[in-house]
Chains A and B, each alone.
Chain A
């Protein structure tokens, strides 16, 4: 009865995605415990210092774009950014990169998509449904179609970038392997394929994994913050300058 229990057919990308999540969660717990026991009058050291820089950077980033209506939104953005960047550079370890599996960018896009609608419904209450008949009721089918545009564009941007880098790297890898086998044919078989690939592949990995991953992470979190900032009504959006005037 139980012989097929726990025999899932899980793709490798999902397992590496779970590993990335585990890394992020363990880091967050470790930093949280250290921040809890840290004396606030002393200078933070090491990892805690880096985490504080990151937290203040993301808080300022969110405050610049969405205003002060969502005070704890920086944490979400920082979590997504950590996960996405680690997922992009996870391909460097030799394990499959999670972003090259369509479900992972789709879940991230779905997260943003749901947040857009939940936050819009939370701030505008019943007027939320007005967005579907925006200029006039004739535009209902157009609006019903165009509401999926953010989801599609976010998902396909991440997936396309990752899969393009992966395909290019694989093509270069196979080409260099065969070229090396043809040039160094005097070396015994199995060892003649390893001479050309290391240096060009290292440069390409640095571009496609590190640089492209960083840029796509920045683009993803900027777009998420911009899409969500659009949903917050103007009167709730108190800029830091006005807040300062109010308190003084």
Chain B
């Protein structure tokens, strides 16, 4: 039952991966349109990716807690 719960909890990483893909796609768009912004856009992209990742990390945390922490 714990394994099932962890598997369901980890499903929350899916939209986060989609969001990260959207961020990267738009940044590549912007880079190709005006290449002199390359370094600024890269920094912002890494920051935005880390922010988008947060939700994925929440679900990972919850599933790790279910697996190792609670219910033992």
Residue numbers of A with Cβ under 8 A of B are 153, 156-157, 159-161, 163-164, 167, 215-216, 218-219, 222
Min CB gap B34→A, angstroms: 21
Our pick among B46, B47, B51, B60 for the contact of A160 (Cβ within 8 Å) is B60
Contact of B47 with A164 in the complex, beta carbons under 8 Å:
no
Residues facing A in B34-63 (CB within 8 A) are: 46-47, 50-51, 54, 57-58, 60-61
The number of chain B residues with a CB under 8 A from chain A is: 10
Which of chain A's residues have a CB closer than 8 A to the CB of B25?
A: none
Q: How far is the CA of A94 from the CA of B19 in the complex (A)?
A: 35
Contact of A156 with B47 in the complex, beta carbons under 8 Å:
no
A-B contact pairs, 15 of them (CB 8 A): A153-B54, A156-B57, A160-B54, A160-B57, A160-B60, A160-B61, A163-B61, A163-B64, A164-B60, A164-B61, A167-B64, A215-B46, A218-B47, A219-B50, A222-B47
Min CB gap B22→A, angstroms: 19
Q: How far is the CA of A160 from the CA of B51 in the complex (A)?
A: 13
Q: How far is the CA of A159 from the CA of B60 in the complex (A)?
A: 11
Residue numbers of B with Cβ under 8 A of A are 46-47, 50-51, 54, 57-58, 60-61, 64
Q: How far is the CA of A219 from the CA of B44 in the complex (A)?
A: 10
Min CB gap A28→B, angstroms: 27
Min CB gap B60→A, angstroms: 5
Q: How far is the CA of A153 from the CA of B60 in the complex (A)?
A: 14
Contact of A219 with B64 in the complex, beta carbons under 8 Å:
no
Our pick among A153, A157, A164, A215 for the contact of B64 (Cβ within 8 Å) is A164
Which of chain B's residues have a CB closer than 8 A to the CB of A157?
A: 54, 57
In the complex, which residue of chain B has the Cβ closest to the Cβ of A159? B61
Q: How far is the CA of A222 from the CA of B57 in the complex (A)?
A: 19
Which of chain A's residues have a CB closer than 8 A to the CB of B47?
A: 215, 218-219, 222
Min CB gap A208→B, angstroms: 12
Q: How far is the CA of A156 from the CA of B56 in the complex (A)?
A: 11
Min CB gap A163→B, angstroms: 6
Which of chain B's residues have a CB closer than 8 A to the CB of A159?
A: 61
In the complex, which residue of chain B has the Cβ closest to the Cβ of A154? B54
Known: A159-B61, A160-B60. 20 other contacts (CB 8 A): A156-B57, A156-B58, A156-B61, A157-B54, A160-B54, A160-B61, A163-B64, A164-B57, A164-B60, A164-B61, A164-B64, A167-B64, A215-B47, A215-B50, A218-B46, A218-B47, A218-B50, A219-B47, A219-B51, A222-B47
